[in-house]
Amino acid sequence: MNNHLVIGILNGDDIGHEIVPAAVEVTRVAAAKAGLAIDWRPLPIGRTALDTHGSTFPAGTMEALSKMDGFILGPIGHQAYPKVAGAINPHPIMRKSFGLFANIRPTRSYPGLGAIHDGVDLVIVRENNEGFQPDRNVVVGSGEFRPTEDVTISVRVITRAGSARVARAAFELAQHRRKRLTVVHKNTVFKLGCGMFVEECHRVASEFPEVTVDEVIVDTMAMRLLRDPASFDVVVTTNMFGDILSDEAAGLVGGMGMAPGLCIGEGNIAMAQATHGSAPDIAGKGLANPFAMIQSARMMIEWLGHNRKITEAVDAAALMDAAIVKALANPATRTKDIRGTGTTTDMTRGIISAIEVAG
């Protein structure tokens, strides 16, 4: 059996240069301890690639990625790119080319970090390739239009196939967790679009009789998430609702540094991508919380372990999880945004030490 993984390393921009190496180091140590062989492949992307390769997303990077099991993608600060040829946003191309339609965004509360509620352990599954996509004219028919100077039309794309496949990914996840799925929508207003999404979720539900399904309107969800987040297990929703609610969920447990993400889909490739942006305001100061990036990498390794049936990968992910919990419990090995006194490096070293001493 081939139990070795080929993983790409894409630093991204700004704090990406701090948190991606942190995620790689933690994963490297856990993999070595669990007996998992990983072939790491650093690839150019972002501002540094614009200088060295004349493009923020060189053709060679895309080609190399297509041969990998997974990759760690640091945050991309594309809004700040200079307006020159070659300065492109790689996200939509990656999501579309690799069919990464499901964005899995977990939220967990850990004691002592300033979470607003204890006992939070939920996962938002956000549809990743449809919906409102003004900045990604990749899906046919999406985008924004200005028929006259004073009128703008924003188009939202929902398809049956797109809704069913993300619903299935969410049900599969719920099946392995507490077996509860909440479908979030606004079919009272978007009767056709959200209506179709909800219909497809219920259709897929028949394949998962053990999972209890309920529905919540998105505005009610925003309120309930704030008041009683511990009551949710897996949440599935359309692209923009998922984006907004997952930031809200991150806020409940300590902020953007606590918001990991994994993108999966049609192919066998997994992309570890934290929910937060490149945070230029704190870059280079050792202030970036590496949790989201490290957890994203952990989720990728765990997913690949199940997907490829590599027990060493599942073991490595478990080692990482336990070590993260341990480091988070000590203020010296967590960053300031989560009531710590440590730097990015202190937290990374804390997690690595916890892996090294694990039995």
- Interface with ligand ATP (CB under 6 A): 15, 256-257, 276-277, 279, 281-282, 288-289, 292, 337
Q: In what order do the strands lie in the sheet with 131-132?
A: 131-132, 151-157, 143-148
C-alpha span between 227 and 97 (Å, rounded): 39
Q: How far is the CB of 28 from ligand ATP (least distance, A)?
A: 20
Q: How far is the CB of 226 from ligand ATP (least distance, A)?
A: 18
With beta carbons less than 8 A apart as the criterion, state whether 125 and 264 touch: no
Paired tokens of 302: 């765990």
DSSP-assigned beta bridge partners for residue 200: none
Q: How far is the CB of 236 from ligand ATP (least distance, A)?
A: 21
Kindly tell me the burial class for residue 238, based on how many C-beta atoms sit within 10 Å of its own C-beta (0-12, 13-18, 19 or more): buried
34 vs 271, which CB is nearer to ligand ATP? 271
17 vs 165, which CB is nearer to ligand ATP? 17
Q: How far is the CB of 243 from ligand ATP (least distance, A)?
A: 8
> Which whole-number Å values give the CA distances from 345 to 20, 290, 349, in the listed order?
12, 9, 6
Reduce the DSSP state of residue 215 to 3 states and report it: strand
Reduce the DSSP state of residue 344 to 3 states and report it: helix
Non-local (6+) Cβ contacts of 149 within 8 A are none
Q: How far is the CB of 319 from ligand ATP (least distance, A)?
A: 22
H helix count then E strand count, the chain: 11, 13
Q: How far is the CB of 79 from ligand ATP (least distance, A)?
A: 7
204 vs 351, which CB is nearer to ligand ATP? 351
Q: How far is the CB of 80 from ligand ATP (least distance, A)?
A: 10
Element (H, E) at 121: strand 121-127
211 vs 259, which CB is nearer to ligand ATP? 259
DSSP-assigned beta bridge partners for residue 154: 144
Q: How far is the CB of 127 from ligand ATP (least distance, A)?
A: 17
5 vs 72, which CB is nearer to ligand ATP? 72
> Which whole-number Å values give the CA distances from 275 to 74, 312, 357, in the listed order?
10, 27, 30
89 vs 212, which CB is nearer to ligand ATP? 89
165 vs 334, which CB is nearer to ligand ATP? 334
Reduce the DSSP state of residue 212 to 3 states and report it: strand
The residue whose Cβ lies closest to ligand ATP is 277
Q: How far is the CB of 245 from ligand ATP (least distance, A)?
A: 14
243 vs 312, which CB is nearer to ligand ATP? 243
Non-local (6+) Cβ contacts of 262 within 8 A are 103, 104, 270, 271, 272, 273, 296, 299, 300, 303
Non-local (6+) Cβ contacts of 277 within 8 A are 75, 77, 256
5 vs 50, which CB is nearer to ligand ATP? 50
